[in-house]
Amino acid sequence: MTKYLGCDVGTKTIGLAISDDRGIIATPLETVRRTKFTHDLEHMKRIITDYTIEALVVGLPVHMDGSAGSRVQSIRAFARNMTHATGLMVHFWDERLSTSAVERMMLEADLSRAKRAQHVDKLAAAYILQGFLDAQGYEALHI
């Protein structure tokens, strides 16, 4: 199985999550405060090496009607740069409502506003990655 790094790429942060070795479970890893792409890239390369990541899953922020806006173009450019720098394949996953779903789960868990802000990006990355992994498992079972 492939080991994945899930990415929820925002303008200020990148939420990261990793899959287990069997590609079944997504686990939140960390939230990276964005600076310059070269700095962000070096940090992500260390994670890719440390966790033996084989592919990336990047959340694609399409509009609710499914159309792509300027944010999608920015994410695709980020993914192209990551592929060029790491050689890893990038899979895109629709991230519509991922942050809302994570926020709702954290509210139900009665987390404080500060705790929610601290964890939302890496949890959103795990939510995105888990959706992708679930779809892969479904496809594998129905081939």
Spell out the domain ranges in the chain.
4-141
What tens digit of pLDDT does each residue of 20-35 get? 998 899 999 999 999 9
Query: Residue for token digits 């890496």?
Result: 122
- Say if residues 57 and 6 touch (Cβ distance below 8 Å): yes
- Taking only the tens place, the pLDDT of each residue in 57-84 is 999 987 777 777 788 899 999 999 999 9
Q: Are 28 and 40 in contact (CB under 8 A)?
A: no
User: Model-level pTM greater than 0.85?
Assistant: no
Report CA torsion sign: 23, 28, 30, 36. Answer: positive
Distances (CA, A) of 27 to 30, 53, 116, 122: 10, 13, 17, 9
CATH of range 4-141; options 3.30.420.140, 1.20.1090.10, 3.30.9.10, 3.30.379.10: 3.30.420.140
